[in-house]
């Protein structure tokens, strides 16, 4: 009769295989039940407004205002509030009052107040001022590293190793940042493997968490997915965080993608403080309010009170004389 | 043979391992359990550009007819295949759309591009056809209170009004697109039941609408409520006939669009430069910006046929005409580079 054996048919067409064994689809997850994403039940928000946000605002904010902002944020339930940066005030005048800020805030018992410490000098000053958690900033782009902190990635890693070693002795946890994770203003596209390499180095040096930053906000769910796929081969997913910028409006879908891939730590800034130094007039950090709105709408817990964050946002925007960058903030203030 | 298959299956085909062990096939592309984030996305997405109608309708400044025509012509050149041109409502209610006939007659219709117009009733439909319209749209609401406050009748009554339009459209062989507003939330009723949305969508679809656009009218939806609603609706209306019309009032639009794509939806409404505010939250934004949607889709490797640069030109043009800043983040960022 010349009929083709079943196995050959199956070899030639997996469609035929599925016709003959309909249960296979389910097993092979070809017909994925897309709606059954496993999202984390809880997401930790790392509030970077007082540091990353204010650092990128033109207006210099008085110390008292910074302290009040941080105190208001502490009262919202946030468990991490990045307080300030121990960089030279010559480079970042906004952070010149780092010691007074760290000593002036009222620390909530369950909240951490990490500070940036780019080198040993900064680390020692931070410890003297009472810091109990620090952060170091690496870059996935050589050019960005050289332009931003005047040294290569390798040289910066040596600097950070010093800081991490000193921190280990004092049992001070260190968070690592990788900037330009999805694109660089100088180099353009950044290879996911490079991001993975830098993230792995920071993790192996002793950082407890690695925050992957889309510094110029050019990432999309496509590039976020590819980058995370690579990085999570080298760093456990629960040690990863995403730090998305909303410069091209992509922050929330990028965060959503990260959540779908198992990331459960998200950096954001109250009121979307901080512009983008590479696209003047554009936004930078994603707004904490907008992130919370999305997470709560998905049934994901954060332990953060959205209304209190909006209040803190209103406060700092008044002090800065500017409108909030948060869409939730804008909508709530306008709702009839 | 079957026995051998069973043996192999037991050992090899365990959930989550399928991607490595499809021994009997050559061409299977199986996605592993880990890659939930980017699978089964449509290869192409049709953008329905609603700026000239939904966008301008919600802008305070009344734009001269010439500027509207110029905008639509520029949008036609950007690769968009559907551009909602105007609305045949009474200019008493919507002064911005008072020049509906001139706009319809004045635009340069590009071959392959559709220019649907809103027709809230039979009179509007007749005027639209007379002015050269070859596709129309009707609007239902998933919220009773919204329907009463917006068009002064219940949802059921509004659907009966549209019956007339549907009949006339069928006779004239004019395709009709159906909109459902308040699909996740209503400014008056609050949360809207997904079953109600499914019911209205199903009615419109069975009345003859070729596509149903589900509108998050006040932008309160999140990937959570969006998924819930789309699950309910896609049980009643085939996913290929569904579109999402997300508002960015709470910044959720792109995230909502992403989950819709992951559920198989491949038609997205948006508005150039994010034209159109929200009448229920003063000063807040409304429609999601086409530029931002296209940026995301292209970043996902999804084809749209749209030339982002030409689209941004159209956006700059209309913002100058309206004397306002663009609502598109892509436009804000890109023009500085």
Nearest-Cα distance to chain A for B259, in Å, is 8
> Residue B221 and residue A297: Cβ atoms within 8 Å?
yes
> Which positions in chain B touch A260 (Cβ < 8 Å)?
36-37
Residues of chain B neighbouring A249 (CB-CB closer than 8 A): 254, 289, 292, 295-296, 328-330
Contact (CB, 8 A) for A221 and B37: yes
B46-49 and A265-268 beta bridge pairing: unpaired
- Whether A33 has its CB under 8 Å from any CB of chain B: the answer is no
Residue B254 touches chain A, beta carbons under 8 Å: yes
Phi, psi of B66 (to 5 degrees): -55, -45
Dihedral angle over CA of A203, A207, A209, A213, nearest 10? -80
| A185 vs B contacts (CB less than 8 Å) | none
Q: Are strands B185-186 and B190-191 parallel, antiparallel or unpaired?
A: antiparallel
Q: Which CB contacts under 8 angstroms, 24+ apart, belong to B90-96? A: B94/B57, B95/B62, B96/B56, B96/B57, B96/B59, B96/B62, B96/B63
Best probe of the B interface among A249, A261, A327, by most B CBs < 10 A, is A249
Whether A22 has its CB under 8 Å from any CB of chain B: the answer is: no
Mean pLDDT of B146-157: 90
Nearest CA in chain A to B262: A34
Which of A37, A249, A333 lies closest to B329 in CB terms?
Answer: A249
Those of residues 193-222 in A touching chain B at CB distance below 8 A are 217, 219-222
List of chain B residues whose C-beta atoms are within 8 Å of the C-beta of residue A21: 5, 9
A281 touches chain B (CB under 8 A): yes
> A14: which strand partners?
none
Q: Do A297 and B252 touch (CB under 8 A)?
A: yes
CB contact under 8 A, A34 and B40: yes
pLDDT of residue A283: 87
pLDDT at site A59: 86
Determine the pLDDT at residue A233: 97
Check pLDDT > 50 for residue B190.
Answer: yes
- Is B43 a residue whose pLDDT tops 50? yes
Q: What is the ipTM of this complex?
A: 0.86
Cα separation, B197 vs B225, whole angstroms = 12
A293 close to A305: Cβ distance less than 8 angstroms:
no
Rounded to a whole number of angstroms, the distance from the CA of B135 to the nearest CA of chain A is 32
Contacts of A34 in chain B (CB under 8 A): 36, 39-40, 262-264
Q: Distance (Å) from the C-alpha of residue A45 to the closest C-alpha of chain B?
A: 18
How far apart CA A127 and CA B101 sit, in angstroms, is: 72
3-state secondary structure of A31: coil
Selected for mutation to probe chain B from A34, A230, A233 (highest B CB count within 10 Å) is A34
CA-to-CA distance for B18 and B9, rounded, in angstroms? 10
* Displacement of CA A177 from its chain's centroid (Å): 8
**Structural domain spans, chain A:** 42-330
Give the residue with greater pLDDT, B334 vs B66: B66
**Alpha-carbon span A262 to A257, nearest angstrom:** 9
**If 0-12 CB within 10 Å is exposed, 13-18 middle and 19+ buried, where does residue A4 land?**
exposed
Asked if A192 and A227 count as a contact pair (C-beta separation under 8 A), the reply is yes
Catalytic residues of B: 278
- Say if residue B127's pLDDT is above 50: yes
Q: For testing the chain A interface, which of B20, B36, B281 should be mutated: the one with the most A CBs within 10 Å?
A: B36
pLDDT at B38: 47
B117 pLDDT higher than 90: yes
DSSP helix/strand/coil, B186:
strand
Is the pLDDT confidence value at B24 over 60?
Answer: no
For domain A42-330, is the CATH number 3.10.450.50? no
Torsion of CA B162, B163, B167, B169, to 10 degrees: 20
d(CA B85, CA B83): 6
Give contacts of B185 with chain A, Cβ < 8 Å: none
Contact B213, B230 (CB under 8 A): no
* pLDDT score recorded for residue A58: 85
Q: What is the DSSP letter of B247?
A: B
Q: How many CA atoms lie within 13 A of A66 on its CB side?
A: 30
Exposure string (b/e) for A120-158, b if CB count within 10 Å is 16 or more? eebbebbbebebbbbbbbbbbbbebbbebbeeebeebbe
Query: Residue B259's pLDDT is what?
Result: 97
d(Cα B116, Cα B130) in Å, to the nearest integer? 14
Note the residue count of chain A: 336
Share of chain B above pLDDT 70, in %: 88
- On the 0-12 / 13-18 / 19+ scale of CB atoms within 10 A, B65 is middle
CATH assignment of B46-334, among 3.40.50.970, 3.90.1150.10, 3.40.50.300, 3.20.20.70: 3.20.20.70
Tell me the shortest Cα–Cα distance from A2 to chain B, in angstroms: 18
Residue A42 CA: distances (Å) to CA of A7, A113, A269, A300: 47, 20, 19, 6
- B296 burial class (0-12, 13-18, 19+ CB within 10 angstroms)? buried
B307's enclosing H/E stretch is none
Q: Could you read off the pLDDT tens digit of each residue along chain A, which spans 336 residues?
A: 456 666 665 565 656 666 666 666 555 543 333 445 689 999 999 999 999 999 988 889 999 999 999 999 999 999 999 999 999 888 899 999 999 999 999 999 999 999 999 999 999 999 999 999 999 999 999 999 999 888 999 999 999 999 999 999 999 999 999 999 999 999 999 999 999 999 999 999 999 999 999 999 999 999 999 999 999 999 999 999 999 999 999 999 999 999 999 999 999 999 999 988 887 778 899 999 999 999 999 999 999 999 999 999 999 999 999 999 999 999 988 653
Set of chain A residues whose Cβ sits within 8 Å of the Cβ of B217? none
How does residue B151 score in pLDDT terms, banded at 50, 70 and 90?
Answer: confident
| Residue A317 is among the residues annotated as catalytic for this protein | no
Residues 6+ apart with CB under 8 A from A65: A316, A319
Q: Which of B41, B18, B38 is nearest to B30 (CA)?
A: B18
What is the tens place of the pLDDT at every residue in B245-288?
A: 999 999 999 999 999 999 999 999 999 999 998 877 777 789 99
Q: Which of residues 39-78 of B touch A (CB under 8 A)?
A: 39-40
Work out the end-to-end distance of chain A between its first and last CA atoms, rounded to an integer number of angstroms.
77
B268 and B45 Cβ atoms separated by less than 8 Å = yes
Chain A CB within 8 Å of residue B239 CB: no
3-class SS of residue A314: helix
CA distance A81 to A46: 6
Alpha carbon A327 to its chain's center: 19
Q: Which residue has the higher pLDDT, A21 or B176?
A: B176
Counting residues of chain B whose pLDDT is more than 90, the rounded percentage is 78
Q: Give phi and psi for B12, each to the nearest 5.
A: -100, -45
Q: Are A221 and B258 inside 8 Å of each other by CB? A: yes
pLDDT of res. B29: 30
Rounded Cα distance between B284 and B280, Å, is: 9
B259–A247 C-beta distance less than 8 A: no
A240-244 β-sheet, strand order: A80-81, A44-47, A265-268, A240-244, A209-214, A174-179, A134-139, A115-116, A84-85
Helix (H) / strand (E) element for B164: namely helix B155-171
Average pLDDT over residues B132-150: 94
pLDDT of residue B8: 40
Average pLDDT, chain B: 88
- Average pLDDT score over residue span B127-131: 97
């Amino acid at each position: 009769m010349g009929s083709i054996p079943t196995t050959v048919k199956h070899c030639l067409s997996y469609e035929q295989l599925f016709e003959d064994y309909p249960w296979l689809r389910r097993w092979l997850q070809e017909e994925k039940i897309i709606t059954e994403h496993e999202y984390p039940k809880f997401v930790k928000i790392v509030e970077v407004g007082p540091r990353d946000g204010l650092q990128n605002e033109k207006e210099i904010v008085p110390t008292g205002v910074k302290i009040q902002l941080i105190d208001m944020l502490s009262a919202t339930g946030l468990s991490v509030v990045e307080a300030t940066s121990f960089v030279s005030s010559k480079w970042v005048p906004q952070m010149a009052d780092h010691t007074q800020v760290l000593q002036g805030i009222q620390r909530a018992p369950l909240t951490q107040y990490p500070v940036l410490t780019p080198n040993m000098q900064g680390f020692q000053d931070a410890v003297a001022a009472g810091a109990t958690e620090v952060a170091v900033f690496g870059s996935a782009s050589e050019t960005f590293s050289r332009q931003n902190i005047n040294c290569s990635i390798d040289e910066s890693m040596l600097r950070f190793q010093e800081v991490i070693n000193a921190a280990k002795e004092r049992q001070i946890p260190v968070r690592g940042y990788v900037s330009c994770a999805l694109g660089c203003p100088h180099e353009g596209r950044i290879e996911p493997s490079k991001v993975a390499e830098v993230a792995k180095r920071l993790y192996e040096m002793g950082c407890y968490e690695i925050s992957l930053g889309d510094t110029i906000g050019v990432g999309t769910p496509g590039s976020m997915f590819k980058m995370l796929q690579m990085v999570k081969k080298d760093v456990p997913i629960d040690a990863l965080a995403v730090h998305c910028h909303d410069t091209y409006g992509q922050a929330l879908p990028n965060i959503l993608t990260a959540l779908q891939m198992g990331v459960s730590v998200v950096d954001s800034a109250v009121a979307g403080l901080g512009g983008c130094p590479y696209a003047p007039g554009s936004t930078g950090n994603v707004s904490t309010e907008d992130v919370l709105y999305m997470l709560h709408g998905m049934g994901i817990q954060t332990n953060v009170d959205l209304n209190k964050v909006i209040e803190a946002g209103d406060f700092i925007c008044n002090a800065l004389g500017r409108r909030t960058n948060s869409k939730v903030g804008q909508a709530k203030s306008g709702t009839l | 043979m079957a026995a051998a298959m069973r043996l192999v299956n037991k050992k090899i085909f365990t959930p989550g391992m399928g991607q490595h062990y499809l021994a009997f096939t050559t061409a299977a592309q199986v996605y592993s359990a880990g890659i939930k984030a980017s699978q089964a996305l449509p290869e192409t997405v049709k953008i329905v550009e609603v700026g000239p109608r939904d966008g301008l309708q919600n802008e305070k400044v009344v734009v001269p007819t010439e500027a509207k025509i110029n905008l639509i012509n520029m949008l036609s050149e950007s690769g968009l295949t559907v551009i909602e041109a105007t609305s045949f409502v009474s200019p008493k209610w919507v002064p911005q759309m008072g020049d509906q006939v001139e706009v319809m007659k004045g635009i340069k219709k590009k071959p392959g591009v559709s220019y649907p117009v809103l027709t809230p009733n039979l009179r509007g439909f007749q005027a639209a056809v007379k002015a050269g319209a070859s596709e129309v749209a009707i609007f239902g609401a998933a919220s009773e209170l919204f329907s009463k406050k917006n068009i002064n009748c219940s949802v059921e009554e509004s659907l009966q009004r549209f019956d007339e339009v549907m009949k006339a459209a069928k006779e004239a062989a004019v395709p009709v697109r159906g909109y459902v507003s308040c699909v996740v939330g209503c400014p008056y009723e609050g949360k809207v039941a997904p079953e109600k949305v499914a019911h209205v969508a199903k009615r419109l679809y069975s009345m003859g609408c070729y596509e149903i656009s589900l509108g998050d009218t006040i932008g309160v939806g999140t990937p959570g409520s969006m998924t819930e609603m789309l699950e309910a609706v896609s049980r009643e209306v085939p996913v290929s006939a569904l579109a999402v019309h997300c508002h960015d009032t709470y910044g959720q639009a792109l995230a909502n669009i992403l989950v819709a794509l992951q559920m198989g939806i491949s038609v997205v409404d948006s508005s150039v430069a994010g034209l159109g505010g929200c009448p229920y939250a003063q000063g807040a934004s409304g429609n999601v910006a086409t530029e931002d949607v296209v940026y995301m889709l292209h970043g996902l490797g999804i084809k749209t046929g749209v030339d982002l640069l030409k689209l941004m030109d159209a956006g700059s043009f209309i913002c100058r005409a309206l004397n306002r800043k663009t609502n598109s983040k892509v436009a804000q960022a890109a023009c500085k580079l």
